[in-house]
Amino acid sequence: MLELRPTCECCDRELPGDSPDARICTFECTFCRDCAEGVLGGQCPNCGGELLQRPRRPAAALLRHPASTQRVLKPGGCQG
């Protein structure tokens, strides 16, 4: 099951489990749409993988399986 990390690793923007703006790679590195499409150019800075829209968990499922609360933030943000 996806962790659904709560924030963008670059800018710390909040990304709730049902956010259409979350982007992830295959390792679940998580970024907001603005950072993923902007400075990162659609490529994960951690693994080099493609960043795609994270699936959204329906509200009823979020109640049973909540999103992670562990925040991951790259020191100094992301560099292009």
The residues, ordered by sequence, that sit 6+ positions from 1 with a Cβ below 8 Å of its Cβ are 65
pLDDT at 74 over 70: yes
- Residue position matching structure tokens 């951690």: 46
pLDDT at 35 over 60: yes
Q: What's the mean per-residue pLDDT of the chain? A: 93
Q: What are the structure tokens assigned to 36, written together?
A: 């993923």
State how far the Cα of 21 lies from the Cα of 31, in Å rounded to an integer. 8
pLDDT at 75 (0 to 100): 84
